[in-house]
Amino acid sequence: MHVRTSNVVTIERHILDQERQNPEATGQFSRLLYQIAYASKVINREVRRAGLIDILGGTGDTNVQGEAVQKLDIIAQETINDAFDHIGVLCCMTSEEVDDIISIPPQFDLGKYTLAFDPLDGSSNIAANVNIGTIFSVHRKITTGREGKEEDLLQKGRGQVMAGYVMYGSSTMMVYTTGKGVYGFTLEPSIGEFLLSHPDIRIPQRGSIFSCNMGNYRFWSEGVRKYVDDLTAVDAERGRPYSSRYIGSLVADFHRTLLYGGIFMYPMDYKDPKKPKGKLRMLYEASPMAMITEQAGGLATNGRDNILDVQPKSLHERTPLFIGSREEVAEAGRYIEQYG
């Protein structure tokens, strides 16, 4: 059956509508969003073929064209880099896959934004066909001079002008915020367009699911252990025990938490008792997810402070993360305050 489509909101229509609401918009910002949508469609195509690479791509390490078969995370890295380096919108980038700050090549124009991204998060899950994703965070340049500097990337999450992720799952979705609510788009593969499927996503104030790597239980601080003991207590009146769900792919675990509520946590662990550490990265994992969460009415902390108010000190710095429904995240914070 042919369906009339005048009510369908493509990502392009959505971006243009948003741009019209801001008389000062120069179009750079819209360009950024288009490029993210474009890059994620390219990555999506590669992810969809991943399971076939061995049969379609020839044998061993080379594909039919005689080129080396690249790992998907490298393909994702290059795709995003190539989608953004020449469009005159960014002054620099940083990525989980690259140690140093990524400068814009001298032949291209510089812009007034920075981009931090995780090109393919959860990539250790690819072989098992588990959801993976791309995460991104955008800040405005704050230093003087045309070139972007590390300082432009090392900004608090509170200063983000855009944050989002793309999830390559049973369908491909892009979820983003520019500080005016959270929007979710689903890719219609037959026409290659992202269509608005989740206008104004709100996270429940309380949920009934917790999500963490329980294998680390004995490496957590007393406060975190006591909090999880409480979530798994038998106490029907207080809605316990909570259900446990853990995919081990941040985008997928976060997406479920955003839609259903509850808490996702990756606490600091004491595997090396002298050097406790979190796992997730501040700039392109915790910070963008925290902005989305707050925009959806939830909360994200490092156990003590709001993630969005923590000043990052290095590009690839790690942080503990407690994120999701307001009530659960605040409760986790109270346990940590009391027991450490």
For residue 263, the cross-strand partners are 210, 324
CB of 104 to Mg ion, least distance (A): 23
- Site for Mg ion contains 118 (CB under 5 A): yes
Residue 101 vs 110, nearer CB to Mg ion: 101
Task: Please report, as residue ranges, which positions from 29 to 88 form the binding site for Mg ion (by CB under 5 A).
Answer: none
- Site for ligand AHM contains 250 (CB under 6 A): yes
Residue 78 vs 327, nearer CB to Mg ion: 78
If binding means CB under 6 A, how many residues of this protein chain bind ligand AHM? 12
Each as own residue / partner, the long-range contacts of residues 278-282 (CB below 8 Å, 24 or more positions apart, any chain) are 278/302, 278/318, 278/319, 278/320, 278/321, 279/318, 280/250, 280/318, 280/319, 280/321, 281/96, 281/118, 281/316, 281/317, 281/318, 281/319, 282/157, 282/307, 282/310, 282/312, 282/317, 282/318, 282/319
Contacted entry of ligand AHM, Mg ion, none for residue 328, CB cut-off 5 to 8 Å set by kind: none
Task: Please report, as residue ranges, which positions from 208 to 247 form the binding site for ligand AHM (by CB under 6 A).
Answer: 213
Element at 177 (helix H, strand E): strand 172-177
**In whole angstroms, what separates CA 244 from the centre of its chain?**
21
CB of 213 to ligand AHM, least distance (A): 3
Residue 57 vs 267, nearer CB to ligand AHM: 267
Element at 210 (helix H, strand E): strand 209-211
**3 state DSSP class of 191:** coil
Residue 178 vs 293, nearer CB to ligand AHM: 293
- Site for Mg ion contains 97 (CB under 5 A): no
State the residue number with the nearest CB to Mg ion: 121
Task: Please report, as residue ranges, which positions from 110 to 169 form the binding site for ligand AHM (by CB under 6 A).
Answer: 121-124
Q: Which of 159, 192, 248, 340 touches ligand AHM by CB under 6 A?
A: 248
Task: Please report, as residue ranges, which positions from 121 to 140 form the binding site for Mg ion (by CB under 5 A).
Answer: 121
* Gap between the Cα atoms of 58 and 56, Å rounded: 6
CB of 74 to Mg ion, least distance (A): 14
- Contact (Cβ atoms closer than 8 angstroms) between residue 340 and residue 332: no
**In whole angstroms, what separates CA 271 from the centre of its chain?**
26
For residue 185, the cross-strand partners are 174, 196
Question: What residue ranges bind ligand AHM (CB under 6 A)?
Answer: 96, 121-124, 213, 248-250, 253, 266, 279
The residue ranges that bind Mg ion (CB under 5 A) are 118, 121
